Amino acid sequence: MRIHSALIPPLRGSSIDIHPNARWQQNGVTVAGGNGRGNGINQLSNPYGLYVDDDQTLYVADRSNHRIVEWKSGATSGQVVAGGNGQGSGAHQLSNPYDVIVDKERDSLIICDRSNARVVRWPRRNGTSGETIISNIDCMALTMDENGSLYVADVGKADVGIRNGLTVAGGNGQGNGINQLYNPWGLYVDDDQTLYVADPSNYRIVEWKSGATSGQVVAGGNGEGSGAHQLSNPYDVIVDKERDSLIICDRSNRRVARWPRRNGTSGETIISNIDCMGLTMDENGSLYVTDYGKAEVRRYRRG
């Protein structure tokens, strides 16, 4: 996976501040989909990445429907804001989009259009087509730092890079070395450009400092398993700064886990029995998780 960084106007803040004693309710509320797998405007089909805006508007990469869907807070159906014109490679189409973020300065969406091997930008409102901003990339996930640099995970190259092509994590072939990644997936970048990579086929989360030539395992890395000290295909990760911890989509263990960010040896399960594919958090500390099996996104408020 390659992470690329591109200097474009700031997209969103990476930091999430949560009360130190925060806990999330175990019974989440469906906020997108939840009406079975399908292509209706109230349905999703294999949802992957997601992004939540300041007003709790949710953007979902609806992979198998080849579209990005916007769900307003409290809405019972969504609105297609990119793609939705059948699977294809036209400027008006998407093919298996895996992730989406919002560029607020340009009021646009940035999308991992994976099967088209490109990253595209679409207008956020009333858009009918997009423009390719990165091509020839096996994009799995993306994020942006506070300076507006875009980071993209390139699964084929087992690295993460920035838009100008600079590799910032991995890039030494697929493998389990500390300077390697293996099918890197979710990304999170901190205020100091420290990068956290969900490295699912190595069953670990790896931290890469800005400018580093190797990473540091900060969660998992103890073989595949269901123990508190293990992960099994972790697909996404975010940072809870108030508790200095990581929140991880531990997909094959059907749980969302919290690990200490520094010197952690094990984690705790905070949500169980969920087919987690992606996660994000809003300004109020509510956690949003895509449940792939149920074709929905659920919100877990702090309890």
For 105-116, what is each residue's pLDDT tens digit? Answer: 899 999 999 999
Residue 36 has pLDDT above 70, yes or no: yes
| Measured distance CA(245)–CA(234) in Å, rounded | 15
More confident residue, 70 or 242: 70
**28: buried, middle or exposed (CB in 10 Å: 19+, 13-18, 0-12)?**
buried
d(CA 291, CA 23): 20
Residue 11: pLDDT over 50:
no
What are the beta bridge partners of residue 207?
196, 216
Give the residue-averaged pLDDT of 217-224. Answer: 98
CB atoms closer than 10 angstroms to residue 242: 15
Both structure tokens of 283: 């300004």
The confidence score (pLDDT) of residue 23 equals 67
Percentage of the residues of the chain whose pLDDT score is greater than 70? 91
| Threshold 0.85, pTM exceeds | yes
Report yes or no on 6 lying in a domain.
Answer: no
Residue 11 structure tokens: 């997209």
Kindly tell me if the per-residue pLDDT of 99 is higher than 90. yes
Q: DSSP letter at 97?
A: E
Residue 212's contacts (CB-CB under 8 Å, 6 or more residues apart) are: none
The answer to whether residue 196 scores a pLDDT higher than 90 is yes
Domain assignment of residue 68, yes or no: yes
Q: Is the pLDDT of residue 15 over 50?
A: no
Asked if residue 9 belongs to a domain, the reply is no
Give the span between the Cα atoms of 94 and 130, in whole angstroms. Answer: 9
Q: How many domains does the chain have?
A: 1
Rounded Cα distance between 1 and 24, Å, is 32
Q: In the prediction, which pLDDT does 165 show?
A: 76
Mean pLDDT calculated for residue range 98-110? 94
Confidence of residue 24 (pLDDT cuts 50, 70, 90): low
CATH number of 203's domain? 2.120.10.30
What pLDDT does residue 120 have? Answer: 98
Which residue type occupies 71? W
Q: What is the pLDDT of residues 136-195, one digit of tens each?
A: 999 999 999 988 899 999 999 999 988 777 899 999 999 999 999 999 999 999 999 999
Dihedral sign for Cα 210, 131, 237, 54, please.
Answer: positive
List the one residue out of 23, 60, 14 whose CA is nearest residue 193: 14
Does residue 17 lie in a domain region? no
User: What CA–CA distance (Å, rounded) separates 13 from 281?
Assistant: 11
Average pLDDT over residues 185-207: 96
Domain membership flag for residue 24: no
Closest CA to 53 of 119, 124, 121, 145: 124
Averaged over 268-284, what is the pLDDT? 93
Query: Which of 152, 218, 115 lies closest to 6 in space, CA to CA?
Result: 152
Range of the domain at 47: 29-300
The verdict on residue 213 lying in a domain is: yes
Element (H, E) at 162: strand 159-162
Q: What is the pLDDT of residue 48?
A: 96
pLDDT band per the 50, 70, 90 thresholds, residue 60: very high
pLDDT at position 22 is 54
Q: Judge whether 255 lies within some domain.
A: yes
Strands 296-300 and 287-291: antiparallel
246-275 as b/e: b if 16+ CB within 10 A: bbbbbbbbbbbbbbbbeebeebeebbeebb
What is the 3-class SS of 226-262, one letter each residue? CCCCCECCEEEEEEECCCCEEEEEEHHHCEEEEEECC
Do residues 157 and 171 make contact, with C-beta atoms less than 8 angstroms apart? Answer: yes
- pLDDT classification of 27: cutoffs 50, 70, 90: confident
Any domain includes 4: no
Give the pLDDT confidence score for residue 176 in this predicted structure. Answer: 97
Please state, in angstroms and rounded to a whole number, the distance separating the CA atoms of residues 288 and 191: 21
Q: pLDDT at position 202, please? A: 98
Chain-wide mean pLDDT for the chain? 91
Residue 190 exposure: Cα atoms within 13 Å on the Cβ side? 18
